[in-house]
């Protein structure tokens, strides 16, 4: 029974990966800091979260999100990159 459950789990994961691979990559707005956002944020999660959250976050909200990623999730983002990322997000995706 465990073998069947394992095979089903693997099949589902492979199928989900195939579907996700067909999604077009997100294109963020060009601007200063985009390289730091793509290099740091996309290392751990989809960049889709940025435009999805933009209707809700101002500069303070983006600062809190970046701080959370560093402190709670241990994202290896330097202080200099964090400032640039927050500035980019607030300028291009803030309310």
pTM: 0.74
CA distance 15 to 9: 10
Q: Note the pLDDT tens digit of each residue in 27-80.
A: 999 999 999 999 999 999 999 999 998 899 999 999 999 999 999 999 999 999
CA distance 90 to 86: 6
Domains and CATH numbers, the chain: 27-93 (1.10.760.10)
pLDDT above 90 as % of the chain: 69
CA distance 36 to 80: 10
Residue 72 structure tokens: 């709670």
HSE-CB of 56 using CA atoms within 13 angstroms:
7
């Amino acid at each position: 029974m465990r073998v069947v459950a394992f095979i089903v789990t693997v099949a589902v994961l492979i199928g989900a990966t195939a579907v996700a691979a067909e999604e077009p990559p997100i294109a963020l707005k060009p601007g200063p800091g985009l390289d730091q956002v793509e290099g740091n944020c996309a290392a751990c999660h989809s960049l889709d979260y940025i435009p999805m959250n933009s209707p809700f976050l101002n500069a303070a909200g983006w600062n809190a999100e970046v701080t959370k990623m560093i402190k709670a999730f241990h994202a290896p983002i330097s202080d200099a990159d964090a400032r640039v990322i927050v500035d980019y997000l607030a300028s291009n995706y803030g309310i």
